[in-house]
Amino acid sequence: MDNMTTGPIGEVAPTVVSFSGYLPDARMAVDTVAPAILEVAKAEKAHAALLVPA
Q: What is the pLDDT along the chain (54 residues), one digit of tens a residue?
A: 555 556 677 788 889 888 777 888 889 889 998 999 999 999 999 988 888 876
- How confident is the model at residue 18, as a pLDDT? 84
> What is the value of pTM for the model shown?
0.66
Note whether residue 28 is domain-resident. Answer: yes
Q: How many domains does the chain have?
A: 1
Note whether residue 6 is domain-resident. Answer: yes
Measured distance between the N- and C-terminal CA atoms of the chain, rounded to whole angstroms? 22
Note whether residue 50 is domain-resident. Answer: no
CA distance 32 to 35: 6
- How confident is the model at residue 11, as a pLDDT? 81
Note whether residue 54 is domain-resident. Answer: no
User: What count of Cα atoms within 13 Å lies in the side-chain half-sphere of residue 44?
Assistant: 17
